[in-house]
Structure 1
Amino acid sequence: MKVAFTAPMKPLDHPVPSGDRTMGRLIVRALELAGHKVEVASTFRSWRAEGGEDVTREVKKLALTHAQEISEQWIERGDVPDVFLTYHLYHKAPDWIGPYLCAKFNIPYVVVEASRAPKRQSGNWALGFNAADAALAQADQVVALTNSDAQCLSQVLSKDVLTVLPPFLEEARFEISQSVTKGSADGTIRLLCAGMMRAGDKQFSYMVLAAALKQIADLPWRLTIAGDGPARAEIEPLFDRKRTEFIGLIPWQEMPRLYRSHEIFVWPAIREAFGFVFLEAQSCGLPVVGGRVFGVPDIVEEGTSGLLSDEGDASALAQNLMSLIKNPHKRENMAAAAVENIRKNHSLEAGARGLDKVLHAALERHQFKRKAHGGR
Structure 2
Amino acid sequence: MSTVAFYAPMKPPFHPVPSGDRTMARALLMALDHGGLSWELVSTLQTRDKAGDTDVQARLFAQAEVEIARLITQGRYANWRIWVTYHSYYKVPDLLGPTVAAALNIPYFQIEATRARKRLKGPWAAFAQAAEAASDAAHAIFHLTHRDGESLLAYAPQKQKIIHLRPFLARTELPPLGPRNGSMLSVGMLRHGDKFASYQLIADALHVLKTPDWKLVVAGDGPALDAVASMMHPFGARVELRGSLDQASLQDVYASSSLLFWPGVNEAFGMTFLEAQAAGLPVVAQRRPGVCDVLAPDSYPAPEDGPEALATKIDALLSDECARLTAGDRARDYTGEHHLLPTASRTLCDAIAEAVA
TM-based fold match above 0.5? yes
DSSP-derived class of the 1:221 partner: coil
Q: Where does the alignment leave 5 or more consecutive residues of structure 1 unmatched?
A: 185-189, 365-376
- Summarize deviations over 1:230-252 as a string: whole Å, max 9, x none: 11101111121221001100011
Partner residue, 1:373: none
DSSP-derived class of the 2:131 partner: helix
- Summarize deviations over 1:193-247 as a string: whole Å, max 9, x none: 1100111111111001100111105533100000000111011111212210011
CA distance in 1, matches of 2:210, 2:216: 12
Contact kept, 8 Å, 2:172 with 2:340, in 1: the verdict is no
DSSP-derived class of the 2:11 partner: coil
Deviation at 1:358, TM superposition (A): 2.1
- Summarize deviations over 1:267-318 as a string: whole Å, max 9, x none: 0111100011001001111111112222111111231xxx422237212211
Say whether residues 1:273 and 2:271 are aligned partners: no
Say whether residues 1:209 and 2:207 are aligned partners: no
The aligned amino acid for 1:169 is: L
CA distance in 1, matches of 2:178, 2:308: 32
Q: Counterparts of 1:47-196 in structure 2 under 5 Å?
A: 47-75=48-76, 78-157=77-156, 160-171=160-171, 175=175, 180-183=178-181, 190-196=183-189
Partner residue, 2:309: 316
Contact kept, 8 Å, 1:141 with 1:361, in 2: the verdict is no
Say whether residues 1:296 and 2:294 are aligned partners: no
CA distance in 2, matches of 1:294, 1:127: 28
The aligned amino acid for 2:135 is: L
CA distance in 1, matches of 2:303, 2:43: 36
Deviation at 1:61, TM superposition (A): 1.2
Deviation at 1:183, TM superposition (A): 2.4
CA distance in 2, matches of 1:197, 1:79: 41
CA distance in 2, matches of 1:250, 1:174: 20
DSSP-derived class of the 2:40 partner: strand
CA distance in 2, matches of 1:59, 1:260: 44
Partner residue, 2:352: 359
Deviation at 1:182, TM superposition (A): 3.4
CA distance in 1, matches of 2:238, 2:279: 23
DSSP-derived class of the 2:229 partner: helix
Give the number of equivalent residue pairs.
Answer: 352
The aligned amino acid for 2:301 is: S
Contact kept, 8 Å, 2:97 with 2:108, in 1: the verdict is yes
Contact kept, 8 Å, 2:50 with 2:91, in 1: the verdict is yes
2:342 corresponds to which of 338, 349, 354: 349
CA distance in 1, matches of 2:61, 2:339: 35
CA distance in 1, matches of 2:96, 2:25: 17
The percent identity for this pair of structures is: 35
DSSP-derived class of the 2:284 partner: strand
Partner residue, 1:243: 238
The aligned amino acid for 2:62 is: K
